[in-house]
Structure formats: C-alpha cells, structure tokens
C-alpha cells in the first residue's frame, strides 16, 4: 500500500522544502487558500526566506503569533526560522504567489555570509515585514516577486532568480533599521518547533496530548498555550489538520481506498476521517476525489481543443518559433496536476 510521504525535517524540526528543481534551492508556485483544510495552511518554519504576494482576494497571515492582514496587491516577507501560515476565518478564497528562496543562493563564502547575510537572517527583531505597494522600496520587491513567478512559469531560470533575489535581499538589508521592533521568544519557538516536528514525524501513529508536550519538554498546559499563542489552534486540532493535508495528497495522487487513506494518515477510523473531512471541506473524501478527476478531465479536454485549434496554424509554417511552443506549454501547464500533452 502506498502511504503518505513523510515530511523531511532538519535536526531543528524545520521543514526541508521540496524545491521546483532538486539541484536549485528555490520554490516558486501559485496557490489558492481553498486548497487547504478549513482555508488554513499548516503552520511551519524553514531555513528559507518566504515571500507571499496576494493576486486576488485577501487572507490573514500569522508569524510567530502576530497576525497580519493582507489584501490584493500586498505581500509579506517572512524571515528564516519563523513560524508562519496563512488562513481565512471567513473561508474566503485567496489566490497568491508563494516564493521560498534559500540563503545558500547568496552564500558566496563564509565571510560574505557572516558580514552581509547573517545580520538580516539572525535579526530576532525582524521576523517579518508586510509589503505595501504604496511604499516605493516595498513596491519594488513586490514587482520583483511577480517577475520571478512570471519568468519562471515555464521553466527554471537560475540567473534571473539569483539577480532578483540579490536585489530583494539588498533592499531588505538597507531598510532593516526601519522595521518595527518585533521580537520572538526563542525558548518558546524551540519548544514549539520540537512539538511540531514530533507531529510531522509521527502523524501516522496514535498521538496523545502528553506525547506532543513531552516532545517540547513542557507540561500539557504549556503545550496547549504555545499552540494557541503561535498557531491559534490546539495541539490536537493541529494534528488533525496535518493529517487532513496528507490525506489530500493521497486522494489526488493515488487510487487507494478511503479506508486505506484514513489509516495511512493516522486516523483511528474511517468514519472519524470522513466526519473531519466533511467538517473542513464541506464534502466527503470520495466526492472530493471524483471532483478532482472530473476537473482534470475537463482541463485536459480544453487543452486538447486548444492544441487542435493551434496545430493547423503552426503546421503551415516551415519553422516552429519558441514563442508558439512556450505559449501552448504555458496554457497547458497552468494547473500543475495536469499531465500535459507536450
């Protein structure tokens, strides 16, 4: 039986990001808030710098327990090793670009990292910065983020990524002294990181509140308080959301039964899994799987029709121009779940 892939964690319980290309540490994707259970992403942290650009709609963002409201045209920068997640309590849709860039991309040598990167990366008073298009230097970053997504929509362009990342990092470093005096409690963060790491490593097994609190070397009351303060949820609710997130992967990418999916993701019974799934997604796991398949079939049919309409024009030419192929490929691969024809 194929089971959920276990999230790879670093020794400090931060998430090991799955990049667009395994040999180049950059993650550039478009997403929708409705893709997450209850319109709420699972809180996480990682070494990478994260950037969010809101394309349509609005969402709230939580960084180390501090809540930031984001709307269309705005964005946010989240520093390395900070807990964060986006959500909508009103369950309103939000389309956004998510970009994760590893500091390794700019680490020319140890001296450069120490003198020019670490002052920003290790600034405990700088966990995040909301990006407002009204402020010139922040608007420049927002523009660079949009260009990063558009320039890498079809295929990875490392030199463009390096150029834009260096420019963005320069702007953040130059304006760092003007950020509000945000702080983070290091002891609490480390304890919470250990507990989240425990959940992500053991979600397929039976987990009790005492197991989670023990991982963070704290009592159950402190454990619950930390989850509520930084993640706005309880430890067991976080566990259920993480399991639901894993179940979505199985429903979309495998044909195993609903019962197998439930047990593979750590749920104690199929009925409880279906009950939670309906609560968060307003549908059943089986209906969700069918809707995904129907959606993909519809998109594939649209793409095939497009290819048929474009083919005569292309075939009448003696040569194929890059712009024609790129246009078709971009149109046909706008949904990452589609197996394209090209």
Domains of the chain in start order, with CATH, are 26-178 (2.60.120.280), 186-269 (1.10.10.60), 288-332 (no CATH)
Q: How confident is the model at residue 193 (pLDDT cuts 50, 70, 90)?
A: confident
- Check residue 2 and give its pLDDT: 34
Query: Would you say residue 161 has pLDDT above 90?
Result: yes
Q: What is the 3-state secondary structure (H, E, C) of the chain?
A: CCCCCCCCECCCCCECCCCCECCECEEEEEEEHHHCHHHECCCECCCCEEEEEEEEEEEEEEECCEEEEEECCCEEEECCCCCEEEECCCCCCEEEEEEEECHHHHCCCHHHHHHHHHHHHCCCCCCEEEECCCCHHHHHHHHHHHHHHHHCCCCCCHHHHHHHHHHHHHHHHHCHHHCCCCCCCHHHHHHHHHHHHHHHHHCCCCCCHHHHHHHCCCCHHHHHHHHHHHHCCCHHHHHHHHHHHHHHHHHHHCCCCHHHHHHHCCCCCHHHHHHHHHHHHCCCHHHHHHHHHHHHHHHHHHHHHHHHHHHHHHHCCCCCCHHHHHHHHHHHCCCCCCCCCC
At 211-229, the pLDDT tens digits run 999 999 999 999 999 998 8
Average pLDDT score over residue span 193-204 = 90
What confidence tens digit (pLDDT) does each residue in 286-330 have? 999 988 877 764 544 444 444 444 444 333 433 333 333 333 233
Task: Answer whether residue 141 shows pLDDT above 70.
Answer: yes
């Amino acid at each position: 039986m194929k089971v959920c892939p276990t999230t790879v964690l670093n020794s400090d319980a931060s998430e090991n990001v799955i990049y667009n290309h395994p040999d180049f540490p950059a993650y550039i994707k478009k997403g929708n808030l409705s893709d997450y259970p209850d319109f709420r992403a699972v809180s996480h942290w990682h070494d990478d710098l994260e950037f969010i650009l809101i394309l349509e709609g609005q969402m709230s963002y939580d960084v180390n327990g501090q809540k930031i409201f984001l709307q269309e045209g705005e964005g946010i920068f989240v520093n390395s090793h900070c807990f964060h997640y986006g959500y909508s309590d009103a369950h309103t849709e939000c389309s956004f670009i998510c970009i994760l860039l590893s500091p390794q991309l700019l680490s020319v040598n140890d001296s450069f990292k120490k003198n020019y990167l670490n002052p920003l990366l290790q600034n405990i008073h700088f966990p995040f910065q909301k990006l407002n298009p009204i402020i010139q230097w922040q608007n420049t970053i927002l523009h660079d983020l949009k260009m990063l997504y558009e320039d890498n929509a079809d295929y990875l362009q490392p030199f463009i990524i390096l150029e834009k990342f260096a420019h963005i990092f320069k702007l953040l470093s130059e304006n760092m002294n003007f950020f509000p005096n945000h702080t983070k409690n290091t002891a609490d963060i480390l304890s919470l990181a250990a507990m989240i790491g425990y959940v992500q490593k053991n979600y397929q097994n039976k987990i009790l509140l005492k197991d989670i609190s023990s991982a963070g070397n704290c009592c159950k009351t402190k454990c619950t308080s930390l989850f509520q303060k930084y993640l706005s949820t309880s430890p067991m609710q976080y566990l259920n959301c993480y399991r639901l997130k894993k179940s979505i992967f199985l429903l979309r990418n495998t044909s195993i039964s609903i019962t197998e999916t439930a047990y593979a993701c750590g749920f104690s019974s199929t009925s409880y899994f279906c009950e939670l799934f309906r609560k968060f997604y307003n549908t059943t796991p089986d209906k969700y799987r069918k809707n995904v398949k129907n959606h993909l079939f519809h998109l594939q049919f649209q793409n095939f029709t497009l290819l048929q309409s474009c083919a005569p024009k292309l075939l009448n030419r003696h040569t194929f121009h890059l712009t024609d192929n790129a246009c078709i490929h971009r149109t046909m691969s706008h949904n990452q779940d589609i197996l394209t024809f090209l």
